[in-house]
Each structure stands twice: as structure tokens, then as C-alpha cells.
């Protein structure tokens, strides 16, 4: 007698090293947080920074619900949204994709393809740049700018990236000032239209890249007159371009890596 084995079909995609699993929510377990943690585990799962659970939507091509690697739900990932767009373009050949996220509808315009790598310009909406805030604890002293891209960010400008910045970022993200947590970006200006960043994402930790983090960093840099739009944002996983013209537009690649089935 053989036991029936159930599986969850997935596509794995990466945007500048920020990797996601794209899964039809119809095949999901009831507890999305728990199954997302299992899927994202890099030793006993598939391995990813997050899972984009897809559902039909009446006003968009698809609705994407994002769960981070730790099982927490996030409003949006710019890179994750681009990965979803790449999957839809590969399936249908369409050159414009509208995706519903927790931060609203996002329009993705296809601009080119090289094999399994698709490039899009994504309308990320209007940013909300807030005040400068001082974080002063026994282990961390930092001044940063609060920026919302539909999800929270804390942008810190530095000359060079400090040793142990990951530990500092973890402390900052846990401050009571940020009851929902926050993404933390360290930003170094490299030219009149170029910044370099390091990222510590809420619910994930250090990542190779972040779409909303790139946007928030560019918005803070442009708003403080350190750079001018458009801005090349260099992260460890590669560069993206951010243009701020009332709306913020993010341009970058998304690569489809593999398809498979996770055995439940």
C-alpha cells in the first residue's frame, strides 16, 4: 500500500538576489504564516525571503499576498511584485501587468527580456517622507528619516557602512517607536545620481536587495538634496533605478529560477 503524497507547486524567482516563491493561494494550507515559514527555510524548505500567494482579482490581473520568511505578513515588496509580474508575463506574454498588493494596485510595464530575466518599470505610488528621528539606546545611536512606500522604512545616511550594522538595524527595528517594526536602510551617496545601500528587512533580516528599500532610500536622498532623480541604487544583489516624478517608478530585473513542488 502506498501513501498519497501532497505537494504545493511553486515558482522561484529572484530580483537582484531578493528571492521569492510564487504560489497559487488555492493550493495553500489554512495557516499561511506556518507554511510560509516552512517553504522559506533554507535548510528544510525551498528557501526564500518571502512567499507571494496569488489569488484572482476583479480589478487587477492578480492579487498577491506577501508573507516574509519569519511568517509575518507584509504590505508589499517591490522586488516581489516584479517577480510576480515576470511569472505572469512568462505565462501570458502580456506587456503590462496590474497586481493588487497590500499597498494598493501596482502597474508593471515590461521593458525587456534576456532569457529568463524580465525587466519592468513599476509604478510604486506616492511616497510619504516623514521627519528625521533620533534613535538613542545603550547599543545604538542613529539619526534617520522615516519614509513610507506603503510599508515602513527608516533611512540612515552614512559615509561608509559601519561594522556590525546588521546588529544595529535589528535593534532599531525593534524600537517601540515602530510598533509594526520597520525596514532599515543604510545609505551612502556615491555620486550626484547614485547611492549605495545595505538593507535589513522586517521579518527577514539582511537581504541582497529590496525594491521598496531602494525607493525609500532614493526618496530620502532626493528629498534632502543629496542626489537628483533618476537615481541608480546599488545594493549587494545589483543595481536598480528609481525615478521620482510625483509618483515613484522603480526599474529593475526579475529572474525566473525554477519551478517545483514542495511536499507537505
Res. 2 pLDDT band, cuts 50 70 90: low
170 three-class SS: helix
Contact call for residues 49 and 17 (beta carbons, < 8 A)? no
DSSP string covering 119-142: EEEEEEE--EEEEEEEEE-SS-EE
| CATH class of domain segment(s) 128-245 | alpha beta
Averaged pLDDT, 75-84? 98
β-pairing, 205-207 with 117-125?
unpaired
Extents of the domains making up the chain: 7-125+252-263, 128-245
Cis peptide before 9 (omega within 30 of 0): no
**Topology, domain 7-125+252-263:** Diaminopimelate Epimerase; Chain A, domain 1 (3.10.310)
The total number of residues shown for the chain amounts to 264
Is the pTM value of this prediction over 0.85?
yes
Averaged pLDDT, 157-170? 96
pLDDT in tens, 219-247: 999 999 999 999 999 999 999 999 999 99
pLDDT in tens, 102-112: 999 999 999 99
Distance CA 74, CA 18 (A): 15
Averaged pLDDT, 210-226? 98
Distance CA 264, CA 262 (A): 6
Q: Could you check whether 7-125+252-263 and 128-245 share the same CATH topology?
A: yes
* Close Cβ partners of 63 (under 8 Å, ≥ 6 residues apart): 54, 55, 56, 57, 99, 100
Three cell numbers written together for 15: 530580483
Res. 1 pLDDT band, cuts 50 70 90: very low
For residue 5, the model assigns a pLDDT of 63
Amino acid at each position: 500500500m502506498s501513501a498519497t503524497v501532497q505537494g504545493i507547486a511553486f515558482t522561484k524567482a529572484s530580483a537582484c538576489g531578493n528571492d521569492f516563491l510564487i504560489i497559487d493561494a488555492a493550493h495553500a494550507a489554512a495557516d499561511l504564516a506556518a507554511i510560509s515559514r516552512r517553504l522559506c527555510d533554507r535548510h528544510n524548505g525551498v528557501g526564500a525571503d518571502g512567499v507571494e500567494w496569488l489569488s484572482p482579482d476583479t480589478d487587477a490581473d492578480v492579487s498577491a499576498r506577501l508573507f516574509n520568511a519569519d511568517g509575518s505578513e507584509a504590505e508589499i515588496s517591490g522586488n516581489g511584485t516584479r517577480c510576480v509580474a515576470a511569472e505572469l508575463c512568462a505565462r501570458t506574454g502580456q506587456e503590462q501587468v496590474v497586481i493588487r498588493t497590500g499597498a494598493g494596485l501596482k502597474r508593471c510595464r515590461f521593458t525587456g527580456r534576456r532569457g529568463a530575466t524580465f525587466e519592468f518599470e513599476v509604478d510604486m505610488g506616492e511616497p510619504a517622507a516623514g521627519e528625521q528621528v533620533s534613535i538613542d539606546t545603550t547599543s545604538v545611536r542613529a539619526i534617520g528619516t522615516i519614509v513610507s512606500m506603503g510599508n515602513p522604512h527608516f533611512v540612515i545616511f552614512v559615509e561608509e557602512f559601519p561594522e556590525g550594522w546588521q546588529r544595529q538595524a535589528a535593534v532599531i527595528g525593534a524600537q517601540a517607536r515602530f510598533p509594526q517594526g520597520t525596514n532599515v536602510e543604510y545609505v551612502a551617496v556615491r555620486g550626484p545620481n547614485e547611492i549605495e545601500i545595505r538593507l535589513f528587512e522586517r521579518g527577514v533580516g539582511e537581504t541582497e536587495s529590496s525594491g521598496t528599500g531602494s525607493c525609500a532610500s532614493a526618496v530620502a536622498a532626493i528629498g534632502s538634496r543629496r542626489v537628483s532623480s533618476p537615481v541608480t541604487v546599488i545594493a549587494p544583489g545589483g543595481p536598480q533605478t528609481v525615478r521620482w516624478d510625483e509618483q515613484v517608478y522603480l526599474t529593475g530585473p526579475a529572474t525566473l529560477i525554477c519551478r517545483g513542488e514542495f511536499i507537505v
